[in-house]
Amino acid sequence: MASLIWHPIRRLLFGPPSAPSISFDPARDIPSLAGKVILITGGAGDLGKALAIEHARHGPAQIYIADLAQEDNGEAVIRSIRESASLPPAGDGGVLIKFIDVDLASFESVRKAAGRLRAEIGRLDILVNNAGVVLMRNEVSVDGYELTWAINFMGHALLTKLLLPTLLSTASQLESSDVRIIVVSSEGHAMVPRGGIAFDQLKTPCKDISYVHRYGQTKLALILYAKSLSLLHPEITTVSVHPGRILTGLFRRLQKDSKLFKYTALITPLFTTSVENGVRNHLWASTAPIHQAKTVEARDGAAATGNSDNKSPNLGVVVSGTYYEPVGVTGKESALAQDEALRVRLWEWVEGELDGQVTGTTA
């Protein structure tokens, strides 16, 4: 029990060994996003909304905000994004921003949201699987999965699988196409049950697993899943990112519900950063130059060395299959996040679970 409490405190206070961050200024370094269609899950929350605002400033064609249903159908969220990005009122041209209801804890809701998206869009350039929760309570979802696992991992896995045909179609339109999947993980991926993922308990409330470990295994799974996607679909750049320690709504709720976080509330400002700073890793991963590797081996080499094949080395290079800490820092994943056997086991497990949820789609 002592190690369970001390490990997250040590990570929060001191973090992993320092590494040089890439110089990245969103206002200066994000290129034009003209013509791009972007989908952000959890887009009504702190990080997702900040991401949408910054993307909107660079002129994409459409931004879809996917989140839990709102009483006003997301109008307040859309209005806030438009105002913060200094966009003209809706209907006056420019970036089109839409809200789409989705409950990631429900396969039915995910299928419905994906169906609407496929009906409305002819392309999808950037998918940001950003939504996430930390839940103190032990519950299962409507589909029978531990609730944190259902929301953070299963919902995103199904959404991605359903949208893969659109992503792949977009990637095939031009040789220069730049299609990306950004998976939001966390340094918390290192705080997991024994073995990394408790496969035998994922369809239970996981009552003997702490909320820290229940959350951690979802974030580990997201890193491994992103790596599998990058290997199977090299035409899409798929990476996982840690945004940093940010005082978001999720963190504030933990301070109310968790004794651990409540007791550290007074020193929280010492080791957290603003949402505006925290979203920079999302922004860098979704817009910085990508590595044009032709083979998995070349990509792996670039990820390990930080080598760039573009003319802006100060921006670094986004390498598919890589886990990044802020901003663009590699080599911070745990040993389990690099475990090939675990990656394969997870992929085979989730593909089996999603079998029947998707018609006519292969991954």
pLDDT of residue 181: 99
**Lowest model confidence (mean pLDDT) among 109-118, 200-209, 257-266, 283-292:** 257-266
pLDDT of residue 360: 44
CB-CB contact of 59 with 65 (8 Å): no
CA dihedral 10, 14, 20, 23 (to 10 degrees): 100
Classify residue 149 as left (phi > 0), alpha (psi -120 to 50) or beta: alpha
- H or E element at residue 343: helix 340-354
pLDDT of residue 246: 77
First CA to last CA distance, the chain: 40
Q: Which residue has 């589909």 as its token pair?
A: 143
Residue 238 domain-assigned (yes or no): yes
Residue 16 domain-assigned (yes or no): no
Domain that holds residue 342: 33-242+318-354
- Residue, of 291 and 289, whose pLDDT is higher: 289
What is the Cα Rg of the chain in Å? 19
pLDDT of residue 298: 56
Stated pTM of the model: 0.88
pLDDT of residue 274: 83
Residue 296 domain-assigned (yes or no): no
CB-CB contact of 257 with 136 (8 Å): yes
Q: Across residues 182-200, what is the average pLDDT?
A: 97
CB-CB contact of 234 with 296 (8 Å): yes
> Is residue 57 scored above 50 in pLDDT?
yes
Residue 213 domain-assigned (yes or no): yes
Question: What is the number of domains present in the chain?
Answer: 1
Residue 298 domain-assigned (yes or no): no
Residue 86 domain-assigned (yes or no): yes
- H or E element at residue 40: strand 37-41
| Range 329-360 burial, b when 16+ CB lie within 10 A, else e | bbebbbebbebeebbeebbeebeebbeebbee
∠ CA(170), CA(168), CA(103), 5° rounding? 95
- pLDDT tens figures, 86-107: 998 776 678 999 999 999 999 9
Q: Pick the catalytic residue from 64, 215, 225, 323.
A: 215
Kindly report the number of other CB atoms within 10 A of residue 179's CB atom: 24
Residue 249 domain-assigned (yes or no): no
Position 282 confidence tier, pLDDT thresholds 50, 70, 90: very high
Q: Pick the catalytic residue from 219, 225, 324, 332.
A: 219
Position 1 confidence tier, pLDDT thresholds 50, 70, 90: very low
Average pLDDT, the chain: 86
Structure token pair of residue 150: 């259902």
Residue 84 domain-assigned (yes or no): yes
CA–CA separation, 285 vs 327, rounded Å? 9
The reply to whether 219 belongs to the active site is yes
CATH (domain of 158): 3.40.50.720
The reply to whether 211 belongs to the active site is no
